Structure 1
Amino acid sequence: MVSKTGKPLRAPVRAMSPRVSSGTLHYWFRTKASDPTSLLALGLLVLFLYLIAGPIFLLLSDALRVHFPEQGRTGLPQGAFTSYYLERAMFSPISQAVFWRPLANTAQIAVGAIVVSLVVGAPLGWLLSRTNLPGKRWYSTALIVPYMLPSWTFALAWTTLFSNRTTGGTPSWMESFGFSPPDWLAYGQFPITMILALHYTPFVILLFGNALRQFDAQLEDAARIMGAGRLTIARKIVLPLMLPSLVSACTLIFAKALGDFGVAYILGVPINYNVLATSLFRAISTSQAGMTAVLAGTIVLFGVLSILIDMRLLREAGRFQTIGSKGAMDRTTDLGKWGVAASGWAMFVFIVSAAIPLMALALTTVMIRPGVFTPDNFTLAYWIGSDLGTTALRQGILLTPEFWRATWNSLWIVGSASLGAGFLGLLVGIAVVRAPMRSAGMMLRQITFLPYLVPGIAFAAAYLSMFAVPRGPLPALYGTYMILILAILADQMPFASRAGISAMMQLGKDPEEAARIVGAGWWKRLTAIVIPIQKGALVAGVMLPFISGIKGLSLVVVLAVPGTDLLTTYAIRLVDNGYTQASNAVVLMICLIAFFGTIGVQRLTKSKLSDGLGGK
């Protein structure tokens, strides 16, 4: 076709483009509506970049930016790049008190806790996994009880038993018995180390005991036939195969001890014995944003390194595999006449690590003067009394409105965060397993695991840095319930997302494909098929964060204010005010919720602690 001038006419490309573009876009939307997992992955990625990666990045950047109070000292405008806070933390006259001494104390406590945990836990792991220990099934659960309960519970029990007149307050049991504990026993490094060691000994029992269960006893038999002695077998065969599990337990204990706040706060702060966590809390309390960032960044760095080492060891553990029959691996050692002594040792550890502390806390709540066992000294006033005669606590705990408000706050705040974490964890599982965009799924998997690498008090500092002022669509949240819900939700995503990913990896595509064939949309398939099938995983993804959130202190102690108190922060405020009996009563309530909640999770998920130990 030509024009009047004889030149050929061009096709109307521009006129056709809108129709082609519109059709392509319409087709793209129809495709994504029928299977929006890619959009889901991108949406969740943006959400968790904002809720997890954003606060951590902002916190770390605070260490290198001038803040308003330091403009005069640095001579730089607010927001300018500076090394002032790093130099102040590490090289100034106050660096010893603020940074280096707390760092050294933290390292000493962590190493000490590791050593004690290995000495106590490794023999118990062997007894529970490779011997016919009397009462093995009961011990398999009883010896894990210390980890079911908040670590700072046992710090309160320690002060009840061993505190002295150095810091005043209510006399301890030992003082009532006529013995004044020395300072090293009452406060500071020794009690903090022992409490953390006993609290985290279950790590060693579980990891070491489970590794021993997988150890093939035929290797020992072969070495014994070749003439090797017991020490040679232990040094050249057993120890190399057990080393990954032992080092993994050590790194986990080190990471947990780094960020543990409650124990050091109760047993260290009264005598000015600081670790990184309490030094960080002091910096937050005095509004030192730059110093907060430096201290939190240090905790994050060591936490990340320790967990990365653990992850590497888990991968390397694949190199330490043996081949043998199931019967050979399950072979147990007959303790014979040593059975009673071994059972006595296990019972002694349980009594020291769980029974005595809980009994001391319980008895203190019904005693006027701790450690005095006369009939006239027992009372229920701290539970149901109506006129205690104290300034800020007029009634017993069960009659105090603040206690019930803190209980309600704990249930609905932690419950809301746990429900959100559980549902989002399932969506993360769908996005990671089902989304065609593998890169988005991989990034989503890593970001949701990030809070596990950051100790609780450092993560709380990150949230305070992020949401103390308006950010994006959200107003300033400090002092509100929302900052607690978001922080707990984000902090528990590693557990919830792993539960969701694991569940979706075990679910085939056939049920969803059948529903798609009959015309069910994505949301209908999710609510009618995926959620009902995965209700067990969803329950686990809700309950595990709930139990962890109920007993957690390090995360919420920075973010809660008196109007938004949870049970944990309410108990700490009672400790600060010197109401020992009342604070112990609140802690017992937390312990009951945490313990029975943990048992409930095991029943719902049909799992047992003894499964990890080989108890039968």
Structure 2
Amino acid sequence: MNAAAPVALLRSLDWKWIVIGLCVVFTIYIAVVPLAFLLWQSFFTPQTAAKAAEFTLGNYTSAYGSRETLRLFWNSVQFAVGASVFAFVLGTALAWMNERTNTPFKTLFFALSIIPLIIPGILFTVAWILLGSPKIGIINLALQNWFGLERPLFNVYSLWGMIWVDGLHYSPMAFLLMTAAFRAMDPALEESATMSGANIFQVAWRVTLKLTWPAILATLLMLFVRAIESFEVPALLGLPVGIHVFTSAIYQAVHRYPSQIGLASAYGMTLLVITTIGVYFVSRLSSRGSKYATMTGKGFRPRRIDLGPWRWFAAAIFIVYFLLIVVLPFAVLLWSSFQRFYSVPSWQALHNLTLDPYRFIFTYPNLARSVWNTLILSFGSATLIMLVTSVICWIVVKTKLPGRWLLDNVASLPMVFPGLVLGL
């Protein structure tokens, strides 16, 4: 009887609710604990071997009691708005040409658009340093040589250069999001506008973009949140020339001695507020998206706009975009990987090519372990998050459990944590 009791107890348990409970607890843990720890650390002085941490309001006084904070805020907003708008305009234009026109090779370009999302942000930034630096940038040197320019045409170490690199890197995200919006939209109203005499640009402005207004705002807000929390571009392009944003200020505070975790947390609270506002508006737009839906009782296939001879110009735009976002960055990284010390491509530099960097990598003692850890981290985190969020979405959408709206908001809370802030 005693041995059978645990078995009977296990059989009587409803494992569905156990799984649901574990997912809810895990979601609350990863959402609430970082917020509480960040807020707690912001009220303490740095801890050293000789002195324990003490409660203080000095971190907020130092962070927000000077004009430097206003400059940080203004630089951060300029960078985030510029990068998000640039990425959106570029991605939306390409998505419209891909979905609504007869541009040649567009199926191939759609498949190739996923490649930039695989390139780490730090490598993409380094590649554009080698391409757009005023001293060693290949593009600047080529243009100066061809046109006899005395000064470099493009300076990646500037606010506009930061906007260019970050916006270019995340334009594929805008492209994929707006492509999905255009595909889901019934083209009947567009065809009616065309038959009424509207030209291509009038249809795009007055009909297509207005029907996708929720997707437009949601995409812009997502790009803004992603840009405001960006670290690689401000650190590699902004810090060398004194352009500071909140993420670079957090980085510098952490790397002081003693480490100013409290000051970094105080800066992080501002980022947290900004991203929270952005995520809030994204969720509000998502809940009101049905107001822009078009009702139809049959399947539809969007009518392709015939661009005539201009379709080859549209194809050329895709080619230039692919060159800027994939070919040139990959080529310059490949070239630099065959050199001990970087040098601009030339006939003389060809004699300095070497396989030593690759020999170092393949003879690195921890190479196999590093690759294995990377695979475990990527596949493990993706699988775990997919399973947990699937359960959370099922609870929010398919059940009538009380308080599920609160669970929805808690599950969205990690979105407001910039990666650098979450690392604190």
TM-score band, normalised by shorter chain: 0.7 to 0.9
Structure 2 CA distance for partners of 1:433 and 1:326, relative to 1, 3 Å: closer
Match of 2:159 among 189, 194, 198: 189
Instruction: Check conservation: 1:212, 1:242, Cα contact below 8 A.
Output: yes
Would the aligned equivalents of 2:133 and 2:154 in 1 still touch at CA under 8 Å?
no
Shift of 1:318: 1.2
Q: Does residue 281 of the first structure (1) align with residue 242 of the second (2)?
A: no
Q: Which residue is 1:108 aligned to?
A: 78
Q: What's the CA shift for 1:193?
A: 0.6
Aligned to 1:343: 315
In 2, the alpha carbon distance for the partners of 1:259 and 1:253 equals: 10
Within a 5 Å distance, the mapping from 1:13-412 to structure 2 comes to 30=9, 33-65=12-44, 68=47, 79-80=54-55, 82-92=56-66, 95-96=67-68, 99-164=69-134, 171-173=136-138, 174=140, 182=152, 185-225=155-195, 233-286=203-256, 287-324=259-296, 328-367=300-339, 370-374=343-347, 377-381=350-354, 384-385=355-356, 396-400=357-361, 405=366, 408-409=369-370, 411-412=372-373
Match of 1:603 in 2: none
Structure 1 residue runs without a partner (length 5+): 1-25, 166-170, 386-395, 462-616
Does the C-alpha gap of structure 1 residues 258 and 301 become closer, same or farther in structure 2, counting only changes over 3 Å?
same
Give CA deviations for 1:470-506 in whole Å, capped at 9, x if unaligned: xxxxxxxxxxxxxxxxxxxxxxxxxxxxxxxxxxxxx
Aligned partners of 2:84 and 2:223 also within 8 Å: yes
Q: CA deviation at 1:235?
A: 4.4
CA deviation after TM superposition for structure 1 residue 188, in Å: 2.4
Structure 1's 405 and 332: CA in aligned 2 closer, same or farther, altered over 3 A? same
Describe the shift of the 1:313–1:120 C-alpha distance in structure 2 as closer, same or farther (beyond 3 A).
same
Distance 1:234 1:433, change over 3 A: closer
Which stretch of structure 1 is more off in the superposition, 324-333 or 193-202?
Answer: 324-333
Secondary structure of residue in 2 paired with 1:268: helix
Matched, 1:451 2:421: no
Cα gap change, 1:304/1:403 in structure 2, threshold over 3 Å: closer, same or farther?
Answer: farther
Contact 1:66-1:79 within 8 A present in 2 as well: yes
| Mapped partners of 1:141, 1:31: distance in 2 | 49
Asked if 1:426 corresponds to 2:400, the answer is: no
Q: CA deviation at 1:241?
A: 0.8
- Does the aligned pair in 2 maintain the 1:215–1:329 contact within 8 Å? no
Seen in structure 2, the aligned counterparts of structure 1 residues 79 and 424 have a Cα distance that, compared at 3 Å, is: same
> RCO higher in 1 or 2 (8 Å CA, sep ≥ 6)?
2
Give the whole-Å Cα distance in 1 for the aligned partners of 2:160 and 2:364: 32
Q: CA 1:324–1:131 in 2, change beyond 3 Å: closer, same or farther?
A: farther
CA contact (8 A) 2:231 2:247 kept: yes
CA distance in 2, matches of 1:293, 1:342: 47
Contact 1:369–1:377 (Cα < 8 Å) also in 2: no
Amino acid at match of 1:371: V
Q: Tell me what 2:423 maps to.
A: 460
C-alpha distance 138-230 of structure 1, shift in aligned 2 (>3 A):
closer
In the superposition, relative to structure 1, how do residues 403 and 298 fare at CA in structure 2: closer, same or farther (>3 Å)?
Answer: farther
RMSD, aligned α-carbons: 3.6
Match of 1:83, as an amino acid? L
Q: Which has the larger radius of gyration?
A: 1
CA distance in 2 between partners of 1:335 and 1:224 (Å): 14
Shift of 1:409: 3.0
Matches within 5 A, 1:505-520: none
Q: CA deviation at 1:402?
A: 8.8
For residues 77 and 288 of structure 2, the distance between their equivalents in structure 1, rounded to whole angstroms, comes to: 26
Q: Deviations over 1:392-420 (max 9, x none)?
A: xxxx3432589553663353156157426
Bigger Cα displacement from structure 2, 360-369 vs 286-295 = 360-369
Map 1:473-512 onto structure 2 (within 5 A): none
* 34-43 or 260-269, larger mean C-alpha shift: 34-43
Q: TM-score, normalised by structure 2?
A: 0.83
Judged with a 3 Å threshold, the aligned counterparts in structure 2 of structure 1 residues 322 and 374 are, in CA distance, closer, same or farther, namely same
Give 1:164 deviation, angstroms.
Answer: 4.2
- For 1:305 and 1:48, the matched residues in 2 are separated by 21
- CA offsets, 1:350-375, max 9 Å, x none? 11121111111111222465223216
TM-score, normalising length: structure 1:
0.59
Alignment partners' CA distance in 2, 1:252 and 1:428: 19
**Superposition deviation, residue 293 in structure 1:** 0.9
Q: Residue deviations 1:322-345, cap 9 Å, x none? A: 134666542111222111111011
**Preserved contact between residue 222 and residue 278 of structure 2 (Cα < 8 Å):** yes
Distance 1:43 1:437 in 2: 19
Please give the alpha-carbon distance, in whole angstroms, between the structure 1 residues aligned to 2:300 and 2:400.
Answer: 45
Tell me how far apart the structure 2 counterparts of residues 321 and 431 of structure 1 sit (CA, whole Å): 26
Contact 1:38 1:431 in 2 (8 A): no
Q: 1:182 to 1:336 in 2, by over 3 A?
A: closer
Q: How far did residue 122 of structure 1 move?
A: 2.1
State the AA in 2 paired with 1:398: R
Specify the SS of the correspondent of 1:185: coil
CA positional deviation for 1:228: 5.5
Which residue number corresponds to residue 527 of structure 1? none
1:102 to partner: Cα distance: 2.5
Separation of aligned partners in 2, 1:151 and 1:428: 26
Contact 1:428 1:444 in 2 (8 A): no
* Matches of 1:184 and 1:345, distance apart in 2: 20
Q: Partner amino acid for 2:118? A: M
Deviation string 1:269-288 (CA, Å, 9 cap, x unpaired) is 22222221111111111211
Counterparts of 1:436 and 1:230, CA distance in 2: 45
